[in-house]
Amino acid sequence: MARISKQPVSVAILTRIHHQTAPEHLGTEFLEVGDDFIRARVPVDARTRRPYGILHGGVSVVLAETLAERAGFDLEGTLRNKRLDLVGELRNTRVYARVPV
């Protein structure tokens, strides 16, 4: 269990607290929590595609907000600017996100 904030955080905890939320509905999977990052992915499928078959921009925002809300506070609880790295194809695959803290 990593300590990237005042509260302990793990993949299991992130998965549990996002039960019945927008990230869960969109298929977000929390993959890894390190001492200074959180990594997750979201599928590009019928739930998340635009009519043209590519990832809907709003899904990227949900993914970014989901990770940033947890990673946005350092050990002292102060909000810091974050960089979100999105990697992946926008069609028929998964998009991965990593937020350094």
The architecture of the domain spanning 11-100 is Roll (3.10)
pLDDT at 95 over 90: no
**Which one of 29, 65, 69, 76 is the catalytic residue?**
65
Q: What is the pLDDT of residues 68-86, one digit of tens each?
A: 777 664 444 444 445 556 6
DSSP helix/strand/coil, 43: strand
User: Which pLDDT score is estimated for 83?
Assistant: 55
HSE-CB at 35 with a 13 A cutoff on CA atoms is 0
| Catalytic residue list contains 29 | no
User: Which pLDDT score is estimated for 19?
Assistant: 95
Q: What is the pLDDT of residues 10-48, one digit of tens each?
A: 899 999 999 999 999 999 999 998 877 888 999 999 999
Question: pTM to 2 decimals?
Answer: 0.72
User: Which pLDDT score is estimated for 90?
Assistant: 57
Contact in structure between 6 and 37 (CB atoms under 8 Å): no
